[in-house]
Structure 1
């Protein structure tokens, strides 16, 4: 299957109303903001999007609303992994039918599974959606399961619609090994923002960057500099991104991401319980420092 994305993919935050209900009417403004900054795609219902806090029906509604808001301007990847194979298949079939361009599946989480169990899980989803591009999503810190290169290669050899991997393990050697799967035609993404420069230098296709919700210009500039061969410029952008990561908690404070988006003119509400909102004083301190890192035209 010929499906490939290169560049910065943003795992978008999920907008909520004050009562905790989905606020899908806020998605068009978020999508427009990110598209204007040059992102290559959007990733829906992932960790940054509070996917584990959504019901299956909410995940479906979020996918549908995002596809509608994007309106074909960039690829939409729906995160459809779930603890059970049956739910993973249900969500993946729905994503395909809803018009998403691809799905990404985190390993079935909570229990630690054998390699054979993982193979059979992903194989079942691939069999159910043979005409739909699928990405493996390696995030062992939250799934309790490793998706190593050997498993990726076996799956890719058996199922042409398994087209790539997003690796958030922080183990760059595993991701680099995956660039050699299917003779280099496996679509690879780094999910650890501190490793973007190194991953791109090693031949990885792009980044799925949670911090790019708030500072998309920095991450897009880093990618563009790197693929243009401007290594020193890319290093400077990685340094700016590292500084922004330190300020924002590098994905560990989703409420802060959302509050900072509001400062940038994109209202998405706060987080869903049991996550806690952020204190306004903390938002103010972070925003005052973050503005200095943004390209001058974007400082507000």
Structure 2
């Protein structure tokens, strides 16, 4: 399985972790998801991210999920290994890289406040994990409460060679993408791969600003694949038309506290998950919410040129 590098491009779909109602792992659904993502044309997969319920898993379960996926696909797989301490981060990283992972993703702890602390943290992460382990920096201040400025990311890119990718989830963040690419063009920083999250909510403009693709878990990864391809081919109007058809559902899925429930419900509706269960604490959609999502799915299917099931 190839490792991620600073020129990695495309769509890395973030997979949810399937559970049965009793909280047990549903590995058959995990395998169906992998097959589905391959058929959708994604370029890679990301496991155990924010929407993968990673904090609810034991390390043994996390390793079992990764083993299940990498044995099912030749797609590169990035694994979230964020942890309060470096010991558990190192242990999980060693196991998943041995299984064939393409790299790991690390979000910052919310105790970081200064630029020096942020740069120092990722310097220590790289030293702990080893120079041969590619790292994705997750920049998601709305969740982590850590603000990574352009100068901070420029320093990390220059000082930490094993950091090869930025998962960009700042919001608003379009200007940040432009500023990073401008710094790269000016020779002020080496290139970083930039894949964007936030459910794809701003992907239409993020690609034009210089992003390399998407790393998110929107329940129609086909849309993400088409957006990246159409933008690369210069078919901007077609890309915007397709994106506009999905925007009501993307917006609904982005509700804080409800997004994973929406995503799992739709994937269950699409025949990918056996149930929409989350491991406790978690929630399911109310009957009214289910009806609203069903309406959005019906309207999506009516739009000409929109792929779906």
What is the CA RMSD across the aligned residues, in angstroms?
2.3
TM-score, length basis structure 2:
0.86
Q: Once the 2 structures are TM-superposed, how far is the Cα of residue 284 of structure 1 from its aligned partner? A: 4.0
Residue deviations 1:104-154 (CA, integer Å, cap 9, x gap): 111124x34433232222112212321121110011122121233222222
- Residue number in structure 1 paired with 2:72: 69
SS state of the match for residue 135, structure 1?
Answer: strand
Kindly report structure 1 stretches of 4+ aligned residues shifted beyond 6 Å. Answer: none
Among 173, 176, 183, which residue is 1:174 paired with? Answer: 176
Q: Once the 2 structures are TM-superposed, how far is the Cα of residue 167 of structure 1 from its aligned partner? A: 1.3
- Residue number in structure 2 paired with 1:220: 225
Distance in 2, matches of 1:298 and 1:284, equals 21
Among 227, 232, 235, which residue is 1:230 paired with? Answer: 235
Highest RCO, 1 vs 2 (Cα 8 Å, sep ≥ 6): 2
SS state of the match for residue 48, structure 1?
Answer: helix
- Residue number in structure 1 paired with 2:202: 195
Distance in 2, matches of 1:297 and 1:204, equals 23
CA 1:87–1:78 in 2, change beyond 3 Å: closer, same or farther?
A: same
CA 1:268–1:88 in 2, change beyond 3 Å: closer, same or farther?
A: farther
The answer on whether the counterparts of 2:12 and 2:42 sit within 8 Å (CA) in structure 1 is yes
Name whichever of 284-293 and 94-103 sits farther off: 284-293
Name whichever of 214-223 and 41-50 sits farther off: 214-223
- Residue number in structure 2 paired with 1:60: 63
Distance in 2, matches of 1:78 and 1:4, equals 18
- Residue number in structure 2 paired with 1:88: 89
- Residue number in structure 2 paired with 1:33: 36
Q: Once the 2 structures are TM-superposed, how far is the Cα of residue 59 of structure 1 from its aligned partner? A: 2.4
| 2:25 paired with 1:22 | yes
Q: Once the 2 structures are TM-superposed, how far is the Cα of residue 58 of structure 1 from its aligned partner? A: 2.6
Distance in 1, matches of 2:296 and 2:250, equals 12
SS state of the match for residue 50, structure 2?
Answer: coil
Q: Once the 2 structures are TM-superposed, how far is the Cα of residue 32 of structure 1 from its aligned partner? A: 0.8
Distance in 2, matches of 1:277 and 1:7, equals 31
Q: Once the 2 structures are TM-superposed, how far is the Cα of residue 280 of structure 1 from its aligned partner? A: 4.4
Contiguous gaps of at least 5 residues in structure 1 = none
Residue deviations 1:196-241 (CA, integer Å, cap 9, x gap): 1111101110111221xx2122222122111110110111122123
SS state of the match for residue 188, structure 1?
Answer: strand
Distance in 2, matches of 1:97 and 1:139, equals 28
CA 1:197–1:299 in 2, change beyond 3 Å: closer, same or farther?
A: closer
Length, aligned pairs only: 295
- Residue number in structure 2 paired with 1:253: 259
Distance in 2, matches of 1:68 and 1:3, equals 25
Contiguous gaps of at least 5 residues in structure 2 = none
Residue deviations 1:156-177 (CA, integer Å, cap 9, x gap): 2222221110011212222333
